[in-house]
Amino acid sequence: MRKMLPFLVVPVLLLGPTVILLAVAVVTAIARPPSCGPSVTDIPESLTATMADGTTVQLDATQLGHAATIVRIGGTTEGVGRDGIVVALMAALTESRLRMLANTVYPDSADYPHDGVGSDHDSLGLFQMRPVSGWGSVAELMDPEYQARAFFGGADGPNHGSPRGLLDIPGWASLPRGAAAQAVEVSAYPDRYVAYEPVAEAILDALTQPAAAAGPSPAVAALHPTSRIVFPLPAGTWTRTSGYGYRIHPVYRTELLHAGTDYAAPAGTPVLALADGVVADVTHSARGGNVVVLDHVIDGEPVATAYAHLLDGSVLVHDGDPVSAGQQIAAVGSTGAATGPHLHLETHPGRFADPAVDFERWSRVHHLDNLTDAAPAACTTGDER
């Protein structure tokens, strides 16, 4: 983000009460958080779009995943709506091509998940926000969710209006979208943003097709519904170490949403499929390590479960494989951003691209009663994703 005028550095604090209210809304409904705007229904593997000048742009799944984060945060922030999300996508496309960029000015920025290294002053992340301008710490700005919330700003934004996010700009909705993006970015090149407006529109359309139109994947549609779910670790092998919600990440040392529940267990402990289903993805990421995602139809509703930090070489399934409740799919490990061996388990009503909910609350609704196989430990900041 190229700044035309220097800004005072101000302390940047995440709004604890706001975050707590959001988490409560999610886990109480056991569904998607209330939406003030578009919500993500799918993330394509790739997308081809055309800029205003006719240039073709190719976007991959990583870039579209970051776009989905922007859409999700914007869609659940009051006052943003579709126009505000398009403005944010235009800004992120222009500033970083929707990539999380580290910067050699801050060597520690490379310790966080990133898609490349930028060189624009001391700018970081999707929106090329500068710590020296008061946008946040290095750790905060290397978190895509934090950057999206900072860009949108407003009463619930982390910067309290300084620097100004979109909602802090008087009359932003009446401005041309490129001008609205410039009002937040304060770039030395204010005319760049409008070129990406049609690309931003195409991204938003691709990510937010109505669920009924998108429909379940053929593999999920072919699944037989089940109501039987089992705990994904053998009885007596595990201890609960961290629940769903915002907390200080033990590796990144910044406040992030812990979208799952952690169960510490010895390395090599079998990890079991929660329910009958099909393998949606076997992947690896810097944060989650080795991850298996399963699709299910439980009590008539599609749901995805994700199992993270799996032991290297332990995954026993492949994309498209059918699985049965209680079948071993991998083993407990500590790959990715973990401080010890444990299973990080996420539950996503719908597809994995949809927001996660609190597994423990969800499981009680669906009558999983053996959550007391081991004495639950108090929530900690260790052994967490």
Q: For residue range 86-102, list pLDDT tens digits in order.
A: 999 999 999 999 999 99
Best mean pLDDT range from 7-21, 169-183, 211-225? 169-183
Which residues are paired to 330 by β-bridges?
271
Q: What is the pLDDT of residue 1?
A: 52
Query: Which region among 10-19, 55-64, 349-358, 367-376 has the lowest average model confidence (pLDDT)?
Result: 10-19
Q: What is the pLDDT of residue 119?
A: 85
Q: Name the CA radius of gyration of the chain, rounded.
A: 21
- Residues contacting residue 367 through CB under 8 Å, at least 6 positions apart: 227, 229
Strands 342-349 and 301-310: antiparallel
Burial 179-211 (b: 16+ CB within 10 A, else e): bbbbbbbbbeebebbbbbbbbbbbbbebbbeee
DSSP letter at 33? P
Alpha-carbon gap, residue 145 to 41, rounded angstroms: 18
Report the Cα 121 to chain-centroid distance in Å.
27
- Residues contacting residue 344 through CB under 8 Å, at least 6 positions apart: 260, 261, 262, 288, 306, 307, 308, 309, 338, 384, 385
DSSP letter at 193? G
**Which among 294, 289, 242 is positioned nearest to 263, based on CA atoms?**
242
Burial category of 121 from C-beta neighbours within 10 Å (exposed 0-12, middle 13-18, buried 19 and up) = middle
Residue 10 has pLDDT above 80, yes or no: no
Give this prediction's pTM. Answer: 0.53
